[in-house]
Structure 1
Amino acid sequence: MARAQDGDKAAYLRLLREITPYLRSRARRWHKDAWDIEDTVQDILLTLHAIRRTYDPSRPFGPWLVGIADRRAIDRLRRLGRTTRRETELDMEHEALAAPPETDVVLDRGRLEEAIGNLPPVQQKAVNLLKLGEMSLKDASLETGLSVASLKMATHRALQSLRAMLADRKDS
């Protein structure tokens, strides 16, 4: 490492080649998965490259290297722990989720249309234009003669009523 610090590129490459198998065996102490082992070795090598100037040639190289290697392995374990707490690994059978049966979609559409029919006329118009017709507030306002604020309020109230109506029917 001392020669590598002095600018000897060949010595630095030889050092990296010689310590990589050792780092791999060291990473196996912390990780079981081959990909995690390789990622840890790469993290160690990147760190070693970034901080190689901090090595003091008057001190032993081994403990300095082991300290870096163990810290990187522990850092990776921490990252993996955070990831596995937030993520759920799915089996391949869950990759393509099945679409609901066509009959359910037809029944749901029928229930929705019936529920919309039970709304007051202003709310019906607001839902039909803004939500089902995907019209802009400005265009719907021009077509109905209602203000944008009135349309927003009518839509909000309509959606609340629809949620309540459809939830009641679902429970019964």
Structure 2
Amino acid sequence: MARAQDGDREAYRTLLTEVEPYVRSIAIKYLRSSSDLEDAVQDVLMTVHSIRQTYDPKRPFGPWLVAIAHRRIIDQLRRQTRRRSREIELSTEHETFAAPPAKLFGERSVEIALVGAIDKLPPDQRDAIRMMKLEEMSLKEASQASGRSISALKVATHRAIRNLRKLLKGELS
């Protein structure tokens, strides 16, 4: 990446070619649809391109890339959730008759409430809960991706869970 920042187009092209499969492997853990997967990979690569000047060559490239990938994939998941809340799937007859209607609508409302509650958290707690619980990153990975200490992430995650309980208690009762 340092050579790419210095204007070496071939090094930049090689870098993007080499990181694409890695970005795809991160995205495939969270996205099921192949079109959403492709959109997320392209979004990550475009973001890397547009903010490449922010990369510090003195620091490792991997955590910088992973942080970008996770943030863009989370954005993709948010878009999916918003899209799903507006769309009605026509091929769910078997699911509709298999489960009681209250259960189907209850699960969806819990998901919507949880996403809304997470968005209300302070940024440090929101990032910690997403990395640690939603993305299932290890403490070490989350620490590298966020640039925060492991103990700070533990505290932020604990506080986020406590705040989510408070926020959801009122919405789900």
Q: Distance in 1 between matches of 2:77 and 2:85?
A: 12
Cα offset for 1:90? 3.2
User: What are the Cα deviations for residues 120-145 of structure 1, in whole angstroms up to 9, with x where unaligned?
Assistant: xxxxxxxxxxxxxxxxxxxxxxxxxx
User: What are the Cα deviations for residues 96-136 of structure 1, in whole angstroms up to 9, with x where unaligned?
Assistant: xxxxxxxxxxxxxxxxxxxxxxxxxxxxxxxxxxxxxxxxx
- Residue 45 in structure 1 maps to residue 36 in structure 2: no
Counterpart for residue 16 of structure 1: 16
TM-score, normalised via structure 1 length: 0.52
**Which one has the largest radius of gyration?**
1
Counterpart for residue 29 of structure 1: 29
Aligned ranges for residues 95-114 of structure 1 at < 5 Å?
Answer: none
Determine which structure has greater relative contact order: mean sequence separation of CA pairs < 8 Å that are 6+ residues apart, divided by chain length. Answer: 2
TM-score, normalised via structure 2 length: 0.51
Counterpart for residue 78 of structure 2: 78
Structure 1: stretches of 5+ with no match in the other structure? 92-172
Q: Distance in 1 between matches of 2:68 and 2:30?
A: 14
RMSD of aligned residue pairs (Cα, Å): 0.9
User: What are the Cα deviations for residues 9-35 of structure 1, in whole angstroms up to 9, with x where unaligned?
Assistant: 000000000000111111011111111
Counterpart for residue 2 of structure 1: 2
The one-letter amino acid paired with 2:65 is: L
The one-letter amino acid paired with 2:33 is: D
Cα offset for 1:89? 2.8
The one-letter amino acid paired with 2:4 is: A
Counterpart for residue 63 of structure 1: 63
Q: Distance in 1 between matches of 2:46 and 2:90?
A: 32
The one-letter amino acid paired with 2:29 is: R
The one-letter amino acid paired with 1:37 is: L
Structure 2: stretches of 5+ with no match in the other structure? 92-173
Aligned to 1:30, the other structure's residue is in SS state: coil
Q: Distance in 2 between matches of 1:73 and 1:30?
A: 8
How many correspondences in the alignment?
Answer: 91
Q: Distance in 2 between matches of 1:76 and 1:42?
A: 11
Aligned to 2:57, the other structure's residue is in SS state: coil
User: What are the Cα deviations for residues 24-51 of structure 1, in whole angstroms up to 9, with x where unaligned?
Assistant: 1110111111111111000001101100
Identity %: 60
